[in-house]
Structure 1
């Protein structure tokens, strides 16, 4: 089973990634880091700063330039995949 929901709020997305530690609850877990060609071209490297992440989601580049449309902005998609309950019970 899966669900797809649009991510529409830069602040909400930044809060989610800043506060959710489901996968990084370990003491020695590393934080998020910028990666990929797009990040390199924008000069984004190293650990992700919450404010810089929110700015990028809002369409504000590190140079201060605003890009993209504001009206109806879709920052991304939240994809959730889960096993049917019957399969989860079988795993026990």
Structure 2
């Protein structure tokens, strides 16, 4: 089994892991391993679920919390659609 050294952990996170270890009667290392395992599983699940979403829903998830209101998000979406309609792509080459 390998070792992993993680530097610059915020004190609040370390305190949370220490509290978790105390509550579960585990060592700090055991609690940290379990927390990492659970975190990796959660990120993997979220990534799988996100990959199955339509592109528009993925964009909404990416920009969640960026817009101050649904109206602002909708206006942004409309602007994107307008830009997409006006985009003719690369110019057609002249084959003369």
Q: TM-score range by the shorter chain?
A: under 0.3
Give the number of the structure with larger relative contact order, counting CA–CA contacts within 8 Å between residues 6 or more apart.
1
Structure with more strand by fraction: 1
Structure with more helix by fraction: 2
Query: Could you tell me the TM-score, scaled by structure 1's length?
Result: 0.25
Query: Could you tell me the TM-score, scaled by structure 2's length?
Result: 0.24
